[in-house]
Structure 1
């Protein structure tokens, strides 16, 4: 059986009435909107390339094992691809309202965990596609790979091999699910014993073991230091169930030139821009941007090249305190770069990856209990999430229509009221801002500050001498 990992399962278990844990994108296409039948045909002909889209998660009775992926014998593409229209005149305000409603809705856990929504009624011969995939199925990189798999890279669909007729096996019953969970737990314990035996026998060099222990310890210490409560602010607190999603963008070429002149990495520049936006939001609310006011979870991919195209989650994270107290744009960028270098050398991401692997070895009920406790306890340890994932490297098409842009959506949960996702496509750097609609009615202030911060750094770069590029 194809069993979900502890991390995959976690995204399903922590979802509640106030948190819809799907990743998503809002893509804008050019040309007359295709008919619904044309959309269904274009997506349907490529489903075989992503078998997970026709599978659903089955829970193991009594929680004795993590859920398993199984083909859904009742799969119907029409239940996953629907169509809505925006009211006239179809401008940004109307589009935002429709997108907000779609992204606030939970995916049905009794079906394969994804949905596409075609949006008609946009001006200038355009239309939109909202793609939602539950985070238990994919992380950011896997989601980008999935978009590139389902869409075409040429206006005319490529000729594909004659597909083998899809014939799902019978859904496993309770007895088989229980037996599979017991068997998998036994196999896991056997692997642990073999690994321990190999280590004792000297298969692992003592220096290697010592280095691993030191690195893991340093990383765990970094996580522990991030457990210090943050300064109180309106950025953290209870969430409602409705989301707002806004977006903006910049010329990627200009950003790369700014990065080469100002130093640091592109991700440092992105985080410096996000830092300015949080500073501006706090000031607009009459709050002090204190040095310990904003701590950001920065996902880090641990996916190997050989695992590209696999739908699952292979991520760790860094916890970065953003220097919102700094007023000068150059100072903010330099400080972000210094802090990110220190975090990378602290091996936080390595420690996080090992913790996730450790969770895979624990009894599922213990992991579930810990997650429910952790995500139901009020805290002030984390403010936001900022994820930066490279987008498709080639232009994509659906039913012969070119995709002009695709803004990324990151879910928010627990007490995090605002998150930022960043990607690239067709020479543009694309920002998507997710927020809790009830507690963050002033999201426009944040988006405007992103634009202002980008413009300021690009202006600084034009008058700066080039620096060595940091890989």
Structure 2
């Protein structure tokens, strides 16, 4: 009986009919070299033989009565792999646009809570090349709940399920498995009570972390080397921040990873992740300009960061921190913007290390956490105030060697992430075999003409390459840029001073 973390549980509480909280994937396989196509029955047998490498595939949720505590993962005594699989044959309509439409509809559906939180649709009759009827292939449309995995562990699961050689692995009989007995209601209630008694310890741990972050921030403020973090709800309004519906659209664009590495080498002291973020920023800026949006204030991205230990890796759960990052979209030079993004990321590092995302919810009981998530959506808090950030951007390094499924090579993967209230766009960047795919998951009722984002990516990459080759080293001055953030620091302190004055006034009266 393994309890969900606070962060894992929050993805359950945020879920609604219009905001399914699962991570999705569309995986395209080339079967043109195979003598016989991979049959669905063979895929089922293969997956059944590999279930032991992903234990969460046979675990379902055990809720705590009246939400006195977070749910637990328990073995599903009624587990049946057939309840998690579906078969679709595209027949004569096996084009890529048909597959994307099908995937969008499937990914709109929430996962059922009475069983393990995953589902795979096997799509047969798919053609990798719309103009070549002999380019046989198949596709997998995968849904995995965000409460069970994050984007980084999702790649681990994929690597464990697939093969690294074109020679098909023999399909053995599945390992014997017996579900562990479900815990009694009495045990669950006793465990919930014990967790409640530990709340003061959690509060103390959180307070220590917060104090460390505050002390570190004060020292850096005095040294004037690093800015204070962004005040909450300070991101500008953008075309991506409106009330979403249940409709989803998937837009993807591929770029050569070598071109991004060349830009990194030209710019010098930046990371490949900075270049990817710069490419996203230029794409978003071009979209905003063409759609008459106000670009005078810079967009703010929430960037998840894996804190998963390399020595003790779990392929389940969310082990990540997050930071708010200024994308500097108000800077017109796309190459200079990448340098500023790098400096912003370095400046935010102490704050992201001080308090991880899952620690921020430890203070709230499960009932309050669930209520807060629900009220955030139902009261449309993000609509009434400025958003905390404009969109999430996740960069997931993938394998650079080919992967196979029973001899069929994985040639392309598209990854999606969940949308939630007032966040109509999320970007997931995944690299595989020397190529980077920018995946845009969007609500078409919020992000108009979303398909145009793919075209903006190529235009943006060309513009960054041109600007990087003409950018002089002295054009970027960290000292001058730091001074602009000192004004932000003063604004934050002034705002906090006002809050304290109001609180003291209310206490006195």
Among 285, 310, 313, which residue is 2:291 paired with?
285
53-62 vs 253-262, greater mean Cα deviation: 253-262
Is 1:359 aligned with 2:361? Answer: yes
Residue equivalent to 1:215: 216
Matched, 1:369 2:364: no
Q: How does 1:64-75 map to 2 (within 5 A)?
A: 64-75=68-79
Q: Match of 1:225, SS?
A: coil
Matches within 5 A, 1:146-185: 146-158=157-169, 164-185=175-196
Q: Secondary structure at the match of 1:37?
A: helix
Structure-to-structure mapping, 1:180-195, within 5 angstroms: 180-186=191-197, 188=198
Task: Please give the alpha-carbon distance, in whole angstroms, between the structure 2 residues aligned to 1:143 and 1:228.
Answer: 30
Q: Is 1:135 aligned to 2:139, yes or no?
A: no
- CA shift for structure 1 position 92: 2.8
* Other-structure match for 2:248: 243
Q: 2:374, 2:407 → 1: CA distance?
A: 45
Change (3 A) 1:161 1:455: same
Change (3 A) 1:217 1:76: farther
Q: Which moved more, 1:253-262 or 1:85-94?
A: 85-94
Q: How many residues align?
A: 453
User: Which residue of 331, 348, 359 maps to 1:326?
Assistant: 331
SS at 2:15 equivalent: coil
Q: C-alpha offsets along residues 53-89 of structure 1, whole Å, 9 cap, x if unaligned?
A: 1001111111111100011111111111212233644
- Higher alpha-carbon deviation: 134-143 or 304-313: 304-313
Distance 2:235 2:200 in 1: 43
CA contact (8 A) 1:418 1:436 kept: yes
Deviation string 1:30-69 (CA, Å, 9 cap, x unpaired) is: 0054111111111111101111110011111111111000
Shift of 1:214: 1.8
* Cα distance change, pair 434–270 in 1 and its aligned pair in 2 (3 A): same
- Alignment gaps of 5+ in structure 2: 128-134, 221-225, 475-509
C-alpha distance 265-179 of structure 1, shift in aligned 2 (>3 A): same
Q: How does 1:14-25 map to 2 (within 5 A)?
A: 14-25=14-25
The 1:190–1:241 alpha-carbon spacing in structure 2 relative to 1, beyond 3 Å, is closer
Which residue in 2 is equivalent to 1:103? 107
Which deviates the most, 163-172 or 140-149? Answer: 163-172
Structure 1 residue 192 displacement after superposition: 5.9
Measured at CA, do residues 39 and 325 of structure 1 come closer, stay the same or move farther in structure 2, by a change above 3 Å?
Answer: same
Structure 1 370/126 Cα, relative in aligned 2: closer, same or farther at 3 Å? same
Structure 2 partner of 1:399? 406
Partner of 2:485: none
Matched residues in 1 for 2:17 and 2:217: separation? 35
Matches of 1:163 and 1:119, distance apart in 2: 24
Contact 2:251 2:453 in 1 (8 A): no
Q: Structure 1 pair 222/174, CA: closer, same or farther in 2 (3 Å)?
A: farther
Deviation of 1:161 after TM superposition, in Å, equals 8.7
Instruction: Report the Cα offset of residue 162 of structure 1.
Output: 7.3
The corresponding residue for 2:88 is 84
Number of the residue aligned with 1:315: 320
Give 2:8's aligned residue.
Answer: 8
Q: State the Cα distance separating 1:244 from its structure 2 match.
A: 0.3
| Cα contact 2:396–2:429 (8 A) shared by 1 | yes
How far off is 1:464 after superposition? 7.6
* Distance in structure 1 (CA, Å) of the matches to 2:154 and 2:194: 31
Structure-2 change in CA distance of 1:236 and 1:179 (3 Å): same
RMSD: 3.1
Give how far 1:421 is off.
Answer: 0.2
What CA deviation, in whole Å up to 9, does each residue of 1:303-325 have, x standing for no partner? 11133243010111111222222
Distance 2:65 2:218 in 1: 37
What SS is found at the alignment partner of 2:19? coil
Deviation at 1:340? 1.9
Q: Which deviates the most, 34-43 or 174-183? A: 174-183
In structure 1, stretches of 5+ residues that fail to align are: none
Most deviating of 140-149 and 386-395: 386-395
TM-score relative to the length of structure 1: 0.87
The residue aligned with 2:492 is none
Superposition deviation, residue 120 in structure 1: 2.2
Deviation at 1:5, TM superposition (A): 0.5
Distance in 2, matches of 1:92 and 1:256, equals 29
CA contact (8 A) 1:236 1:380 kept: no
Q: Kindly provide the CA deviation profile for residues 381-419 of structure 1, in whole angstroms up to 9, marking residues without a partner as x.
A: 221110001112432211221111212212211111111
Q: Is 1:437 the counterpart of 2:460 in the alignment? A: no
